[in-house]
Structure 1
Amino acid sequence: MKTKNLLSLLAIAGLMIFASCKKDDPSPLTKEEAQTAITTVDGSYNTIKAEYDATTGVLVQETIYNLTLPFDAPKKAPARLESIQKDLTRTIKPAFAKGGSDEFIYFNFPQWVGTWAYNTSTLEWEKISPTPTDQVVIKFSYNGGTNNGTLTYYDYQTKTANGQAYISQLKAKVDIDGQASNPVMSWVYTASKGLTNGSVTFVYNIGAFTQTESYSADIAISNTTSKMNYSLSFEVKKNGAVIYSTSANISMSGTQSTYTATINAQLRVLDIIIKWDIDVDNTTNTENPNNFMKISVWKTNGAKVADVVLVYNAELQDYEPYFKFLDGTTVKASEYLHDLLYEIEDFMGSIMGFVQA
């Protein structure tokens, strides 16, 4: 009897725990709640994007890019929110693991240490001081000559892989005279390389914003098969809170006659997350993306906002995204999203570059 009573109590406790967990699961949003959530995040995104693009740390990049330096220094810049993922398929590619990606930094740092400035009489860059001996310091004019700026490369470190040295760490910062807070922008680059793998991470600080980009690849190739795993992420935080992020994990494998690809990707804006689940192989009809791709929208607390269905527009000869709400009704995404819709479509177009027929 004691054993039966104990088992009964355990069963009741288990049911109570299960019921409690189910009760805590957030309910899907109604159509009205979903519409409010989507339009709210679209408006907030536009406000934050304008603030981000107006920071001195972002604006100064145009001046830095136009510096005609006598050496090829890395002029890495934080991506503006309207162009974050445009070169995704160029960045993550098989050559990446062997060091062929543009994301790896190449810079003969020891050759150019010291302080450099532009001579307006000779119209040439000159090394005005051999110090500091462990930094590359570039003096430049900013804002039409109103302010002086300093671009500094420092904390240079190297490692060796496959018999060749590569930069495993490099830091840079930009200071502008007259600013209330300096540096106006800084970044830290770290990288690792192997024979069949590699990774790169950039961390930018721009005022109240922190931006992190990371890429990694792992490739295995034999006489009969090839397997490639890619991972990438991009995240922008303001005062420690995530305001925008994208990520994708991509697994591909193939033989001479077969091909498979699985992609799990997300795009987050504030408390809204859009998820892509893609499964494709060499037999998939990729003309219709609904055959191999599922898209859904969620709140960060786990509540489902809507599904996304792609409807073919014969006039545009392309598929357009529609939100499918809890009550089954569908509404074109462009009725709720504006600038943010371009970001979503760009990101989706980038990951679609990995889908092969």
Structure 2
Amino acid sequence: MKAKLQTLYNDYLNIKWKRGLTPVHSEPFEYSLYEDDSAGLFLSGHSEETFTNWMSELRPEDPYYGSKPIGKPVLAEVFNQLDVYDELVLYYLLFTLNTTLSIHTHNSYSAMNDFMKNYSFFQLAQLNGLSSLKDQQKRELRDFFFFFYLYTHPVSEETLYACSFSGKDLIHTKTDIKLEHYFSAFHDYYIAKLDKYGEQILISQHEIQACKHLTLELIRTIEGKSPKLIMPMEEGLEAVVELINNVDQMLHMYAKNKTLLFDVMRNFLADHRTSPYRNHCFTSLLQNYVSYILYFNFDEINALVDDFRETPVWCGIVINKIFTDAIFINKFMRQSTINITDYPNVVEFFDEEARRFYL
């Protein structure tokens, strides 16, 4: 039975941001909490086996350690261009993909990484449906988000640069193998050879099949081949969530009258209700402003500062969240050799953390 990704994603957000909603049981998976408030996506009926760790005993030996490897990859007959070094990289990519729906506890540094990984995953699911951006702009952002999806996991440098997009397909660049084909063959191999690997695999053939379907749905979501994910609505968040779920609407609003977008931000700040999910949605909206507006024209930040000039406290909140909740803005400022000291009207609102990071 296939689990619907949107349903699992809703449960993921519900648990992660303590929304207090009753989880929707999505056979054959269910979330279970650990004592430290982290959570794993378990296979129903298994108290130990999760979507992430079912294949933990199948990790290839590291060919970089010990004597020169003499073995072949398990899927060498299917992909004859594959070597044992590639096999290890693809295993790590599979592990990274399958941890997308895991929920961890964090310190301040790892919390930023976690936000950026999952923000990037969500944005990759949106890009193909956008009509407001040119194809080249969408390709730029797709590469940008995929880089951060891996970078903030984190992965090794070799794994970070192992893949690229070819059209809509993610491929292992060195071998030209499509990730979707490799991950499909990986699961099919162990379904067929389950008797041989019985001591390492503690789930059934149909459960491996379910894991395969979910893994493939995750990769297709990243590739933009699946229906886009949406953030669920919550009372008082309607305007913010609507713009998160519809980037085209945000861009049309901004093009028509920039103040309309800034008013959505102001109205959020004027509403003193607080919750982890509300804060997450506001952070996501601000990073959308960074990713889809400032990324292509950093000078637009002057319009934000001018519009918030009469409410300097709110201006400071917005500016500092933009610059310190994630490092997306730092990455493309470096790419475009933008010096923040050329924008004293922005720097004057920096708090201590932003000053330490940027000045």
TM over 0.5: no
| Structure 1 length-normalised TM | 0.33
Larger Rg: 1
TM-score by length of 2: 0.33
Task: Give the helix-richer structure, 1 or 2.
Answer: 2
Larger proportion of strand? 1
